[in-house]
Amino acid sequence: MPAEKKPRAKTATKPARPRPGGDAAKKKRSTAKQGSGTLVIVESPAKASTIKKYLGEGFEVKASVGHVKDLPKATLGIDIEHDFQPVYVVIDAKKKVIAEIKSAAKRAARVLLAPDPDREGEAIAWHIADEIRPCNGNIQRVLFNEITKKAVLEAIEHPQELDAKKYDSQQARRVLDRLVGYQISPILWSKVRRGLSAGRVQSVAVRLLVEREEEIRAFRSEEYWTVEFDVEGERPPAFAIRVVKLDGEKPNLAHEGQATEIVELVRQAAPHVTAVERKERRKNPPAPFITSRLQQEASSKLRFSPKRTMALAQRLYEGLELGAEGPTGLITYMRTDSTRIADDAVTAVRALIGSRFSAAHLPAEPNLFKSKKSAQDAHEAIRPTLLDHEPERVRALLTDAGAGRDAREIDDLVKLYTLIWNRFVACQMAPAVFDQTTIDIAAGRVGLRASGQVMRFPGFLDVYAEAQEDAASEEESGGSLPDVREGETLRLLGERPEQHFTQPPPRYSEATLVRELEEKGIGRPSTYAAILSTVQDRGYAEKREGRLAPTELGVVVNGLLVKSFPDILNADFTAQMEERLDLVEEGAADWIQLLRDFYAPFERDLSRAKVEMRDLRREEEPTEEVCEKCGKPMVIKWGRNGYFLACSGYPECRNTKEYTRNPDGTLTVLPTTRPSDQICPTCGSPMVIRRGRFGEFLACSRYPECKTTSPVSLGVACPRPGCGGYLTEKRSKRGKVFYGCSNYAKSKCDFVSWDRPIPKPCPNCGAVFVVQKVLRSGGRLRCLAEGCGWGADLDDGDLEQAS
């Protein structure tokens, strides 16, 4: 079907128009009064500044600052009865921007739309075109994969028509997300609580977290033993061997007695070498970054959230002020799933490798990498735009031009840029080469083995090594092994039977959840950061010791959605939908038919859910607990902050309590108060510690006669000069713990920290306190004082103080 005859999205103020590139648009271009010069419209002011530097006179560059039109917030905005036509409206905050763009379009001879080269960028371009066409019909699209002078000028010289297929794909995705979010969420409001949301992709991500948590809770640890021996041959050094077989089978050492039996069997035999295998092992360099891999590596190596990674990458792509060089784009487009590299970039990096490293570091031919089947190959992999911009040079230029720029921000930008730089250089280097030796030993009925490897040539490892998070490690290998021969007898020096216990699967980190979403085909590289942010912002998941865990709310909502919307919450279904959306972009599927196929069964599920979904707001679970105030039974109810115990005599009796559920199903009621050493400043009575909606607080023991309250001190004075307050634990509206000044609620002090303040002076600068940061590998202390930079791992004493 020709592009100009396809059904168009509705607008709230004007009838649907033909698409740019159709006959009507061409006629407009030929008859419209022409201005002079070229108007280029991009998404961000930073990008506009960088591009303006390259274009010079005759070009005006404007920024839309993201989307200018969207579906209305107050209504569904989709005409379901007429083939799901969306009704777009100009975003209120963008009316002034649109007016300025229209005014500039009237002055220009032509308009080039240059938002980002992806689906969202295409949608922005289409919506801007809809608004400015009456002012100037001479509209074309330009695409920048990198913001360098060469790339920008080349794109300007070769403008294109807007891409109807890419726009259709984005529009289908937007309509799908709106249908799911705006039609499921009200059901959750009526059954659980107001303000909740469901999402086509976010809800599947929450399901993964919940199912992993269920695996962890259901896991039953089992004991097992391993046995190693220290031995010595005819030539040093001594080395370790481990038990791998018993009577020709893999041993199952379930208890200490079996391990002891193995030790006795080996002692009574004469261990001798049965085989020695020496071989060369090569480790190939990793592919250059795609979006998901960049997010994973930045999470594992730099502790950046995917959201933080993408925000920094966006700035590196759009351009940073590099002193006299002005705004400069440092990396190629950061939303890509292709590992393709431009030929001139390969040539440049090979020249750099040849000049910096030995000849052996440079392969005879460039390394090639296969992209996954579903990859959109329009963009290159993520790489530096110019190899002249080395990381430390960029740091120096950013620092010199950094008036008003936060030092930590510069550091984070350089860290991410360095990661991208090193990965790109490494991807075109030679493999690392190892000498690997395996020695098999027999001792009667017991088979043992020693493995070791020595790096013979580092290759790409001189530049970059991938992080291994939650991945099954390669076969354990020690260092160099002695030169032994087949038949040689070994002398026993000692044994090491060790007890172990099987471990449950780990919770997902942000890096491993991104990897899981990618492997299952859920979402696309451009959506991962938003997914992880949304599930935490909505209160469905939280970080515990650096890992993602579902909250009670997440578990409850997931259970309701899985039962009522089995397709929406199905990972395979979601992945298949992503594939169909890709087909729309390729022109192999129709977006309206895709929505028709989706909506018929979804509508049936909606109707059933409105009637059959559990109504938690009205449910009460009886318990054996008795209200000490009125003697009536206590019941478990659902409230804004989760399940709690409430008196069944409500509203006459408003007694409530918190509880925990034990493994056997019984309840343990938590104390609502505990004593403190504080005295009420109002009436002189003892203060007690109570727990409320936003955490613990001090309250007068004579409540309700005296209603004096105050925050619980952490024993640290507020560092703000002249404040006079003290630091205390607080809780956000979404339940996330943070630390702030006791004067924070009075709007007198804005000091906050996500890390827990510890009353311990900094050994480096003498600051009166440091903070405790929880990492996956354990705890760490660091100083917040500007310019100090002190940090150290937590020791037992620190942990006691922190608790």
| Strand 327-328 versus strand 491-501 pairing type | unpaired
Q: Which residues contact residue 281 at a Cβ distance below 8 angstroms, ignoring those fewer than 6 apart? A: 433, 434, 435, 436, 453
333 is known as an active-site residue? yes
Cα–Cα distance, 8 to 168 (Å, whole number): 10
Tell me the Cα Rg of the chain: 32
Is there a contact between 101 and 41 (Cβ–Cβ < 8 Å)?
A: yes
Helix pair angle (571-586, 510-520), 10° resolution:
70
Cα–Cα distance, 267 to 761 (Å, whole number): 55
Cα–Cα distance, 502 to 219 (Å, whole number): 9
Beta bridge partners of residue 212, listed in sequence order: none
| Strand 752-753 versus strand 737-741 pairing type | antiparallel
**Amino acid, res. 225:** W
* Catalytic-role residue among 88, 317, 333, 599: 333
| Strand 432-443 versus strand 272-283 pairing type | antiparallel
Q: Calculate the CA dihedral of residues 400, 405, 406, 407 and round it to 10 degrees.
A: -10
Cα–Cα distance, 433 to 455 (Å, whole number): 6
Cα–Cα distance, 565 to 184 (Å, whole number): 9
Cα–Cα distance, 583 to 747 (Å, whole number): 53
Residue 225's H or E segment, with its range, is strand 223-232
Q: Which residues contact residue 609 at a Cβ distance below 8 angstroms, ignoring those fewer than 6 apart? A: 184, 187, 564, 565
Q: Which residues contact residue 179 at a Cβ distance below 8 angstroms, ignoring those fewer than 6 apart? A: 76, 78, 84, 595, 598, 599, 602
Q: Calculate the CA dihedral of residues 365, 329, 407, 724 and round it to 10 degrees.
A: -130
Q: Which positions are annotated as active-site residues?
A: 333
